[in-house]
Structure 1
Amino acid sequence: MSRQLLKSTGVVGSMTMLSRILGFVRDMLIAQIFGVNTGTDAFFVAFKIPNFLRRLFAEGAFAHAFVPVLLEYKMHGDKPALKQFIDKTAGALALILILITVIGIIAAPVLVAILAPGFIGQEMQYELAVKMLRITFPYLFFISLVAFAGGILNAYGKFAIPALTPAFLNICMIAAAIWLSPLMAEPVMALAWGVIAAGMVQMLFQLPALMRLRLAPRLRWGFKDKGVKRILGLMLPAIFSVSVTQINLLVDTLMASFLKAGSVSWLYYSDRLVEFPLGIFGLALATVILPRLAKAHAAEDAVAFSNSLDWGLRLVLLLGAPATIGLLMLAEPMLSTLFQYNEFSVADVHLAGQSLKAYAIGLIGFILIKVLAPAFTSRQDMKTPVRYGFYAMLASIGLNAVLIFPLAHAGLALATSLGGFFNAALLLRKLLKEKAFQPASGWGWFLARVAIASGAMAGGLGYFVDANWWDQWNSADRVINLIKWIIAGSAIYGAGLIITGLRLRHLADIHGKIINF
């Protein structure tokens, strides 16, 4: 079991890495071509709103409500019943998305005013954000159907295509930045058109895989269907339970709009770097572990459920620890290498570096939520994550109000990080109390080994690396030296694990047992 989980996680992680690398290329081009100004702030708000709703409804609520019910049909029903369920779910989802999209386009001025109130006094920036939001909002329709198709493919163990699909967003935006922007009166508007084009391309890309499974949906009226009703009933609490971090990031953008120009962009670029390991490790783990946990619950196999969760939590710490240290110790070198060209200044690197370090502190907490939340949603328990998510959101908002004054935009990022850990701690405590998760033996040794290896990595990078070097180098030197120190830090961490006795076979035991570390 663990070997298959590790293999599937590797497939999703590698595909996600390709997409994230293209995402960095995209952001480098945006930084070089458009800089950090009111125009880019307006685009990031216009892009964040449908992207936030996509994560909230599609990747978040819908995926966690849909996959467990789908697996029940797959395991206990026949193929015609499964196909009918998929068709009716697709019909209901499409109608809901059309209504939300129409409302969003009409209400774009109100949405920008609510989510970026600092723009209201800046007439040109506000109007530009409204125009771009009306272009980008239909992205929600297409990408939600993409998530629907991806949920079906993941349930059938087809992880590669859904994981590769996000790469087309970056490809389309890169094309728009290079070729379309010079043709437009307002060049930054090209990015908005790139977003909507990407939604259509992503949806079309997944259709052949569904057709091979003979599960390509035909839209049917499904609001009276029993399975669809269950999904809709689960979605509302799931919207909140799995998306607290995204809500907090949106609140960060709202509050940053009141700070000096560039604050929204600094948060965006630092969040993008945190999203790299979060996407590769966190999203990959969440994608793979949700069907596994749902299957174990449907089969009433409590041991397999707990072992899968144990495996996931160990992998979170094993991979999350070095990623956190790397982001903390190499924050400004990464930002300088990727973005410090033309309009993106040394000052921008330092200011974005502050919020990157603050977000990095919460990386493990963010990844833990992606593993712990499915432990509830796979059992169709949405109420518990909702309650804890609400507590965590209140804590983050309270910390925002306190930390924004001494730390400005970095204080907003730190508040989100601390809220993430608080949410993860509440979820873990509940699973332990219910005995849904019973830790296997060897956790003490495992934590000690990860801590020793992490300390060695932090010490090595802290002693040998000077972030000021990157300001003096050209782009080639920056890239070469950044890669060198990423490899060096990873080697130190890996050596620390090997010296202390940790082996990869411990996480890939073919029988699904958790070996004493």
Structure 2
Amino acid sequence: MMNLSKALAGVGGMTTVSRVLGFLRDSIIARIFGAGMVTDAFFVAFKIPNLLRRISAEGAFTQAFVPILAEYKSSRSPKETAILINKVATLLGIFLIIVTLLGIFGAPWLIYISAPGFASDPEKFNLTVDMLQITFPYIFFVSLVSMAGGILNSYGKFIVPAFTPVWLNISFIASALFFADFFSQPVMVLAWAVFIGGILQLLFQIPFLKQIGFLPKLDFKINDPGVWRITKLMGPAILGVSITQISLLINTIFASFLAVGSVSWLYYADRLMEFPVGVLGVALSTILLPSLSGSISKNNSKEYSSLVNWGLRLSILLSAPAALGLYILAAPLIATLFYYGAFSEHDVLMTQYALTAYSIGLIALVLIKVLAPAFYAQKNIKTPVKIAIFTLFCTQLMNMIFIGFIGHAGLALAIAIGACINAGLLFYHLKKNKIFVLEKGWILFFIKIILGLVAMTTLLLFLKGPDSNWLVYSAWEKVFRLGFLTLAGALSYFVALRILGVDLRTFTKRLSNQ
């Protein structure tokens, strides 16, 4: 039986490597390009194919494909599974080619829709269009990467998909450092870095697909029951994932009308928040979806329920101190990572406002990564879709209220509270499901977590010092002090939990016995 604790550690470790390189890339971008007109243009040009990727492949496709693939793996022959993969890959490839061509030729219209505020500045608008036409093919490459990742994860090869995003960060770092001067508009190098990064990610996964014997081949006979079951599941899945991405797109629309730099401030804050979400939430989701799907295909409700309980406990155990750390250490984090070169003191302050707002929803965002796969594994996509629609309505209502009071930070706060609503409703409906049973001991677990957070908060506030000090420390002094604070905060939290009787080894034992 698969050792899920080992898999989680491996995926989390590789994701951490990718995220650390991502911080390095963002620090380099901030140092060279700052937070202004050209970075606003690039982040919009990069966000659009990223949003579509999450809709077409990484989100909806994975939710529909992995449960069916798990079913084929457990009940069909390898040959039948390979045929399914070939047909699905062919259909996905055709769809992606069409979408990519439409995106390249329709780039001006996409910018009018996604960032209408840019239209008042022709230079900014045209730069964004030029970069979007270069970045848009990324959706083709990375969507195939997502399919390959789904196959590899289903066969226990979690490390490879987790490491794959490293190549995009390497492409960014190398391009920004060594090739920016070759362009009349240096920021264009970032668009080409996206294009090259997509190719590198796809090439990296090919040998591993060959290794397990499932490298897709063209097969245009797509009239297959498995293919159409996936297609049928993708309908509501696309709607559900689209709602989340539409919410982000609307935020970009709002931000495009705000002060210059607003898109960039939100981007840098989002990158910091995405670190714990990626390391923990994405890692858990990656491992849990095929594992939960396998439990459902075997009609093992006890294993399914145990996996969900474990995922929820571990999510709260690790995301709670991360959320609190982001809130308390927002200024030190931003100053240490980005306050260099063209990134100004004002940019630090504005990014801090967005990050503290985002941090309120961090725990919920991680919980969603556990709760949503619990529905997808049951091939129940309708419930998360209905919840997502309601959450979208609430988020946009909050946007209109908050933006008038706290500007771009209001957009971040609306997303944070919306995530809390989403997670709460997902949990409520999952608990109503007879397959899932909530284990005993949750109230005592929460009390211990809260006491651990109190210990961590007390120590961090005592050691941090005024935020203004972090603007005058040298680079190495900031790195040293931030590292010390992070270590001290983590130690105070986990030591407090240990004193209160929380034994982390119980999580490992439970996983190992699945």
Taking the aligned partners of 1:30 and 1:241, their CA distance within structure 2 comes to 33
How many angstroms does 1:430 deviate by? 0.5
CA displacement 1:101-124 (0-9 Å, x = unmatched): 011111110111100011010100
Aligned to 1:486: 486
Taking the aligned partners of 1:452 and 1:512, their CA distance within structure 2 comes to 28
CA contact (8 A) 1:245 1:416 kept: no
Structure 2 letter corresponding to 1:327: L
How many angstroms does 1:222 deviate by? 4.5
Identity within the alignment, %: 46
Secondary structure, aligned partner of 1:27: helix
Instruction: Give the 5 Å matches for 1:35-74.
Output: 35-74=34-73
Moved more, 251-260 or 332-341: 251-260
Q: 1:372 to 1:269 in 2, by over 3 A?
A: same
- TM-score w.r.t. the length of structure 2 is 0.98
CA displacement 1:432-473 (0-9 Å, x = unmatched): 112232111111111111111011111221233122221111
Moved more, 144-153 or 217-226: 217-226
Aligned to 1:500: 500
Taking the aligned partners of 2:495 and 2:242, their CA distance within structure 1 comes to 36
How many angstroms does 1:512 deviate by? 6.7
Aligned to 1:224: 223
CA contact (8 A) 1:358 1:417 kept: yes
Taking the aligned partners of 2:488 and 2:285, their CA distance within structure 1 comes to 29
Taking the aligned partners of 1:240 and 1:10, their CA distance within structure 2 comes to 32
CA displacement 1:282-325 (0-9 Å, x = unmatched): 00000000011100000011111110000000011000001001
CA contact (8 A) 1:12 1:284 kept: yes
CA displacement 1:132-178 (0-9 Å, x = unmatched): 00000000000000011110000001100100000000000111111
Aligned to 1:8: 7
CA contact (8 A) 1:362 1:418 kept: yes
Taking the aligned partners of 1:306 and 1:144, their CA distance within structure 2 comes to 31
CA contact (8 A) 2:5 2:512 kept: no
How many angstroms does 1:504 deviate by? 1.1
CA displacement 1:361-400 (0-9 Å, x = unmatched): 1001111111111111111111111100000011001100
Does 2:179 align with 1:210? no
Aligned to 1:402: 401
Structure 1 letter corresponding to 2:184: A
Structure 2 letter corresponding to 1:498: R
CA contact (8 A) 1:57 1:239 kept: yes
Taking the aligned partners of 2:402 and 2:153, their CA distance within structure 1 comes to 40
Secondary structure, aligned partner of 1:468: helix
Taking the aligned partners of 2:244 and 2:499, their CA distance within structure 1 comes to 36
Taking the aligned partners of 2:251 and 2:414, their CA distance within structure 1 comes to 9
Does 2:450 align with 1:451? yes
Taking the aligned partners of 1:141 and 1:54, their CA distance within structure 2 comes to 8
How many angstroms does 1:4 deviate by? 2.2
Taking the aligned partners of 1:343 and 1:420, their CA distance within structure 2 comes to 33
Moved more, 235-244 or 26-35: 235-244
Instruction: Give the 5 Å matches for 1:281-320.
Output: 281-320=280-319
How many angstroms does 1:245 deviate by? 4.2
How many angstroms does 1:250 deviate by? 2.4
How many angstroms does 1:241 deviate by? 2.7
Structure 2 letter corresponding to 1:296: S
How many angstroms does 1:347 deviate by? 1.0
Structure 1 letter corresponding to 2:395: S
Structure 2 letter corresponding to 1:494: F
Taking the aligned partners of 1:219 and 1:486, their CA distance within structure 2 comes to 50
Taking the aligned partners of 1:401 and 1:510, their CA distance within structure 2 comes to 45
Taking the aligned partners of 1:395 and 1:496, their CA distance within structure 2 comes to 37
Moved more, 193-202 or 237-246: 237-246
Structure 1 letter corresponding to 2:175: A
Structure 1 letter corresponding to 2:413: L
Aligned to 1:149: 148
Structure 2 letter corresponding to 1:426: L
Moved more, 186-195 or 426-435: 426-435
CA displacement 1:56-77 (0-9 Å, x = unmatched): 2221111111000001111100
- TM-score w.r.t. the length of structure 1 is 0.97
Instruction: Give the 5 Å matches for 1:95-134.
Output: 95-134=94-133
Does 2:321 align with 1:332? no
Structure 2 letter corresponding to 1:60: G
Taking the aligned partners of 2:359 and 2:65, their CA distance within structure 1 comes to 31
Does 2:375 align with 1:376? yes
Instruction: Give the 5 Å matches for 1:27-42.
Output: 27-42=26-41
Taking the aligned partners of 2:475 and 2:508, their CA distance within structure 1 comes to 40
Taking the aligned partners of 1:481 and 1:315, their CA distance within structure 2 comes to 28
Structure 2 letter corresponding to 1:57: S
Q: 1:243 to 1:6 in 2, by over 3 A?
A: farther
Taking the aligned partners of 2:496 and 2:308, their CA distance within structure 1 comes to 25
Taking the aligned partners of 2:368 and 2:236, their CA distance within structure 1 comes to 16
Structure 1 letter corresponding to 2:92: L
Taking the aligned partners of 2:174 and 2:257, their CA distance within structure 1 comes to 32
How many angstroms does 1:242 deviate by? 4.3
Moved more, 233-242 or 161-170: 233-242
CA displacement 1:157-205 (0-9 Å, x = unmatched): 1100100000000000111111121110010000000100011110010
Q: 1:209 to 1:512 in 2, by over 3 A?
A: closer
Q: 1:512 to 1:447 in 2, by over 3 A?
A: farther
- Unaligned stretches of 5+ in structure 2? none
Q: Tell me the matched-pair count.
A: 513
Secondary structure, aligned partner of 1:381: coil
Q: 1:323 to 1:222 in 2, by over 3 A?
A: farther
Q: Over aligned residue pairs, what C-alpha RMSD do you find? A: 1.3
How many angstroms does 1:254 deviate by? 1.4
CA contact (8 A) 1:222 1:228 kept: no
- Unaligned stretches of 5+ in structure 1? none
List, as ranges, runs of 4+ consecutive aligned residues in structure 1 with deviation greater than 3 Å.
242-247, 510-514
Taking the aligned partners of 2:56 and 2:377, their CA distance within structure 1 comes to 17
